[in-house]
A = this chain, B = another copy of it.
């Protein structure tokens, strides 16, 4: 049996343990929800205050030039590029994930329509993040395409001659299972299909190499693993072979070739700037930049490769401890055991009927854990055969092995004591 002592030893030997000092973590909290909203880096508050009081307050309009506000999407983008196997000048931080998906999917549809006009399908996973499906559905409706939703094991067979685009989320938000980006992209390209990857749960969570995978388009989120703060700008990457053909209808002035000539006709800027649209939230952008700086600092410790080793050790330990110490409470595992198929999160399941009033009890267990300071989250298990999800994200930047021990110990106590059955934990309200 794994012991607390052993977990403490793992922390003592952890070469990344000092990275935790770059964050402010609230006392009494074990935060396993960095996959939903990352934590606050120590440098952020002072930098945000500087943007507000100095750059805005004193610099005012002059700061667009003097404080580099105009270049901030590219500056943050270049840092993100390092985390996803892209080159400098290929990524911009901007807008939201949904809106960036609309841009790249629009552009991909335009390219597909020109190159293979008879292909009229977009293929995605039924369990993809819903907002991705909503955006794809809307575009299909507008352009006369059909969105075909398949199960993960049906993807390979679905890459037929009528498919224009394969749109996938690299790491599934609910199960934490990960696609092999290079293999899937290769299969898509062999069938002349363009690929659009959502990296919301992979940028900063797992090593990503868009260039090696020869992916076509990618977008992702700034406020999850990248610790950019609530509503941080998202990002967009396009394979440079598509850049000059990239056209999207959110044709705002920030994407114009000469924005300050204020010409009445739109000419997309050369390169990465054409992915931009309107004026960006500069305060949130500065916070995102601070979140990314922690990753830049982590390069001295081995970067994403080292973070991945620790991430897998953390999720292995969590799975092991749950399987050792939480037996007999109907807890299942939705996350793959194979490392190559696992993101940086673990999703436990409970079957419908295992909780109160026919529920799975997963919601109540998560609420009871949150009350104890162990913050994970609950997700409806739609598509998972009558199961619901308890989701735990492990961010190796600030989560340690002893944290994992205590999280599982709290889970064990919640289950043994049946404290999750308390009425206050069974009242649903808006949850994230």
Contacts and interface: CB of A to CB of B under 8 A. Distances in A.
Interface of A is mostly: mixed
Q: Which of A33, A51, A57, A58 gathers most chain B CB within 10 Å? A: A57
Contacts of A380: 260-262
A107 to B, nearest CB: 12
Contacts of A256: 130-131, 134
A432 to B, nearest CB: 4
Interface string A1-44: 00000000000000000000000101001010100110110001
A362 B353 CA distance: 74
Interface string A370-384: 100001010110100
A230 to B, nearest CB: 4
Given A33-B61, A65-B432, A375-B61, A139 B278 contact: no
For A36, A139, A278, which residue has the most chain B Cβ atoms within 10 angstroms? A278
With most chain B CB atoms within 10 A of its CB, the pick from A62, A138, A252, A370 is A252
A138 B375 CA distance: 44
Contact of A283 (B102, B253, B284): B284
A266 B223 contact: no
B102 A250 contact: yes
A57 B40 contact: yes
Nearest to A29: B60
Interface residues of A, number: 89
Given A40-B53, A53-B40, A251-B138, A283 B48 contact: yes
Interface stretch (A92-100, A202-210, A340-348): A92-100
A130 B264 contact: yes
A317 to B, nearest CB: 22
Interface string A278-296: 1111111101000000000
Contact of A45 (B49, B131, B232): B49
B45 A99 contact: no
Nearest to A126: B264
Contacts of A260: 380, 430-432
Contact of A432 (B39, B61, B99, B431): B61
A334 interface: no
A335 B223 CA distance: 44
B98 A233 contact: no
B252 A134 contact: yes
Contacts of A233: 281
Contact of A26 (B60, B70, B96, B229): B60
Given A98-B253, A231-B279, 14 more contacts: A24-B53, A37-B60, A39-B60, A45-B57, A61-B375, A63-B230, A64-B430, A99-B250, A99-B278, A126-B264, A128-B264, A134-B252, A134-B253, A231-B282
27 contacts: A36-B61, A40-B52, A44-B52, A48-B48, A52-B287, A70-B430, A95-B99, A96-B277, A96-B278, A96-B279, A97-B279, A99-B250, A99-B252, A129-B262, A131-B256, A133-B264, A134-B266, A138-B249, A142-B249, A174-B262, A229-B283, A232-B281, A260-B431, A260-B432, A261-B380, A261-B382, A262-B379
